[in-house]
Amino acid sequence: MINASDVIENLEKLYAHRDEDNVKIPELLVQHLDRTLYFFNKLCDEKNVDNVIYNILVNVEFDGQKLNEKCCDFIKELFVDALYFHDIGKINPAFQYVKMNNKLEFDDKEDGLDTKHSQLGALLFVHMYINKINEIDEDGIDGVQGFLRHILFSFAYVISRHHTYLDDLEKVDFYDTLENVYNRVKDKVSYIRYYKNSKDLIENFNMKLLNNSNRYGDGHSPYEIYILVKLLYSAIVTCDFYATSYYETSKEPNFNYINNVEEIFEIYKNTNIYKGIEKYKKDKNYFNDIPINALRTDMFLEAEKSLLKEQVVNNNNIFYLEAPTGSGKTNTSINLALNIIKSEPNINKIFYIFPFNTLVEQTKITLYNIFSEKFKIAVINSITPIITTQNDEDGMKDYKEDLLNRQMLQYPVILTTHVNFFNYLFGLGRESNLPLVHLCNSVIILDEIQSYRNSIWPEIIKLMDTYGKYLNMKIIIMSATLPKLDNLIKDVKSNFYELITCKDKYYNNKLFKNRVLLNFELLDCGLKDRNEIKENILNKINEVVTERKQSRILIEFIKKTTARDFYNTLREAYIEKRIVEITGDDSNYYRKKILAEINAKYSDDCKLGKKGELVLKDVIVVATQVIEAGVDIDMDVGFKDISLLDGEEQFLGRINRSCQRKNCIAYFFNYDKSETIYREDYRLEKDLMNIEYREFLINKDFQAFYNLCFQRLNEKKNKNNEESMKSLDKEVQSLNFKTVNERLKLITESNYQLFLAYTLEIEEDGESITIDGKELWQEYKKLYKNDEIGYAERTIKLSEFAQKISYFTYSYVDYSNKYDNKPKKYEDRMGNLFYVENGEDYMIEDEATGCKKFDIGKYQQDTGGPFL
């Protein structure tokens, strides 16, 4: 490394930060640089980041050849020094005088000096290293010096952006930016007064060495450099945050990992489930009374055995866990994650990634029940408050430390959403990139990957495979309908491993396969008229209700408007029966209360039922596809409007979920066109109107179903157009971060939140509480705009509002993207939260629960909004 004292004059007098209240002594620049490096070394110790960098570099190819050791060492040196000198631009005299109030010699009459430091720092970093590249022997690889200049150029770009965000390197023309800074420096030499090599920079620096003709940005393997540059950005902003926090608080931040896996494993082994598994291993008759548990245990043990085969953990990064609904995937994944950590000491953190917050909440409860408070299990989403801790000395909260822990994901186990996870991998801003360096050497459990936007499956798995390999992430992908996405990147040597080698043994077992009988008679009736189809569906529902007397019936529609229409019709037809509606227009509170009612079980034997039996035996639930995954609900009979084949299986997972009841049936019908919701999805080419697809569903042959989808995806991606995989390679190689981010977005529609101000009564800790939505909004808004408290305290207190805010919040999706980035009716807004004053006008009351539901039809009537 280059020593700061070798390149900076007056190092002992230059400042990096100062306390605005003038309570603390200003932080010297050299202190900040040293602290930044100190925390990087901590990351190397705790997360083995140095090994991750080495792992990337030894796989970089230039013109088809691996880099030699000297080149790898040089790039590693560049990486560390880019981090160390990220703030060298703060030697700018104007920055010192104006920003730091540092009364060093400074002629404030000199025009043209601004206080910026990042772009100047980038230029100085380039100058420090540009000549060292000429000393590196090309060693038979023609042009490697140009390639190293490209690396230097890219790292300098990161320095220039470490206070903003990553854009498209190719499109922002960073060369022009550097040239403009260089011209300013030549015009005002005092700009670099404290740079010891200023004379050489002014007289000998050759800017042309950095233009396209002298850099080789297209002769290397693209993904390694993309990840390396992203990792540098993450490391810089992370260590910069840590160092700045240390100056402000005089406290060293926490680094929380799983460093006691044996102890954690012992807690897990003491659960009743694991004890039952151990007894079954010794006695195959142990689960004779509950045969489904024998099947679950067989799958659990097969997955564990596959994982623990010699070298499997070390040589593979992505593991498939394909298992039927009700087979205990969550429990199996916990065991797999702990075994990975036990097998590979570098792995020390677990991330659970889900498509829906309902799955996050369910898994949180499962983990809490197992591990209690033995380590922090953090939920990272929009409705869960930031974890806070009490200071042992004065009992006060340390808001800065708690916020920093949240920003850095400093918890041993994190539960979050697919959208957040993709933001960590492909995000552009500083805060979205803070977690990336902490993903290194972690177990990532991805649930329901088929819910990702279908048209970008090839891009997703290509980048997931690459990130997993180079950041040493052990990724477990699990689902009942699991697309083997590595089939989309056959030309690449990938690291995928199937933990269940013979899935038919489980899927075709009668306990799973015959759990729900499939009935297609409503598809075969030949009706075309929607009114006749509706009448046919209602007649079949009535037939089921009449025959069964008491039954738990689930009916799923594609459109919310259709669900509401049938809901109203059924309420009129069955006045004495409990009928509820669950759609994307329900508040968080309403959905929780409804599901609690549906899932309630007797705690003790009584005249009405046995302990563990469901209380609500007679109910009709009308829902949209939000019920398919992430909702723990167990019904007897299902009716579903056909859409995606894997969606049909997810729906079946809500029927006889416990596998303990008989004569459970699912009826399928064709009412609304699924293309209106599932746009650009290649799974829609055929559906259950096709006899072959029915066989796929009956036999649980989802790979055959996915093969046609894969074929269409490959056809499209292989075309020479902007959506081809080659174009992705080019964008990655060009370090066009924004374009890659846009391409990998999971949600493309404009998505906003409506806050409907109405009066809500809730139960909290056994007490009835009334919340006035208008008052809540004003309290939230007051806190949101409160500048008298610190940023950390305000952020945490706002997060503590999140749960109550969610009770009044409803999603607004503009599928047309034509409403000027906002809904048509609102009176106030904060960010993407839009306040509707007369929210009471758009609510209807569920008579059984007393909860209020969003009347989407009334709002649509008043606004003409684009609701489906």
Read off the pLDDT of residues 611-644 as tens digits, 9 standing for 90 and up: 888 999 999 999 998 887 667 889 999 999 999 9
The three-state secondary structure class of 120 is helix
- Burial of 663: CB neighbours in 10 Å, binned 0-12, 13-18, 19+: exposed
Q: CA torsion angle for 310, 312, 315, 319 (degrees, to 10)?
A: 180
Model confidence over 244-286: pLDDT tens digits?
A: 999 999 999 888 899 889 999 999 999 999 999 999 999 999 9
The domain segmentation of the chain, as residue ranges, is 4-249, 261-508, 511-699, 750-863
DSSP state letters, 243-289: HHHHHHHS-PPP------HHHHHHHHHTSHHHHHHHHHHH-TTTTTT
For position 706, what pLDDT does the model report? 93
**What single letter denotes the amino acid at residue 254?**
N
Mean pLDDT of 565-576: 93
Q: What residues does 656 pair with on adjacent strands?
A: none
Whether 420 shows a pLDDT value over 90: the answer reads yes
pLDDT > 70: percent of the chain = 95
Task: Choose the weakest-confidence range: 5-14, 39-48, 374-383, 415-424.
Answer: 374-383
Alpha carbon distance 432, 421 (integer Å):
9
Q: Which of 772, 866, 789, 785 is nearest to 824 (CA)?
A: 866
More confident call, 763 vs 32: 32
For position 188, what pLDDT does the model report? 87
Task: Choose the weakest-confidence range: 50-59, 94-103, 158-167.
Answer: 94-103
* CATH classification code of 261-508: 3.40.50.300
Whether 314 shows a pLDDT value over 70: the answer reads yes
Kindly indicate the confidence band of residue 868, based on its pLDDT and cuts at 50, 70 and 90: very low
Do residues 452 and 418 touch, judged by C-beta distance below 8 A?
yes
Alpha carbon distance 626, 628 (integer Å):
6
More confident call, 116 vs 857: 116
Is it true that 261-508 and 511-699 share their CATH fold? yes
Helix (H) or strand (E) holding 330: helix 329-343
Task: Choose the weakest-confidence range: 117-126, 184-193, 339-348.
Answer: 184-193
* CATH classification code of 511-699: 3.40.50.300
Mean pLDDT of 717-734: 84
Interior CA angle at 781 toward 778 and 785, to 5°?
A: 140
Model confidence over 370-396: pLDDT tens digits?
A: 887 777 789 999 888 998 886 655 556
For position 867, what pLDDT does the model report? 43
DSSP state letters, 784-829: HT--SS-HHHHHHHHHHHHHHHHHTEEEEEETT--STTS-S--SEE
For position 492, what pLDDT does the model report? 60
Kindly indicate the confidence band of residue 106, based on its pLDDT and cuts at 50, 70 and 90: low
For position 865, what pLDDT does the model report? 57
Tokens of 715: 């056809």
Q: List Cα–Cα distances, 753 to 354, 440, 453, 834, in angstroms.
A: 21, 33, 21, 6
Model confidence over 780-820: pLDDT tens digits?
A: 999 999 989 999 999 999 999 998 999 999 877 665 555 55
Q: φ, ψ for residue 95 (rounded to 5)? A: -60, -45
Whether 6 shows a pLDDT value over 90: the answer reads yes
For position 638, what pLDDT does the model report? 97
Q: Which of 485, 510, 508, 488 is nearest to 498 (CA)?
A: 485
Do residues 836 and 755 touch, judged by C-beta distance below 8 A?
yes
Whether 737 shows a pLDDT value over 90: the answer reads yes
Do residues 814 and 749 touch, judged by C-beta distance below 8 A?
yes
Mean pLDDT of 582-602: 87
For position 528, what pLDDT does the model report? 81
3-state secondary structure 431-444: HHHCCHHHHCCCEE
Whether 542 shows a pLDDT value over 80: the answer reads yes
Average pLDDT, the chain: 89
For position 630, what pLDDT does the model report? 64
Alpha carbon distance 321, 265 (integer Å):
21
For position 591, what pLDDT does the model report? 86
Which pTM does this prediction carry? 0.93
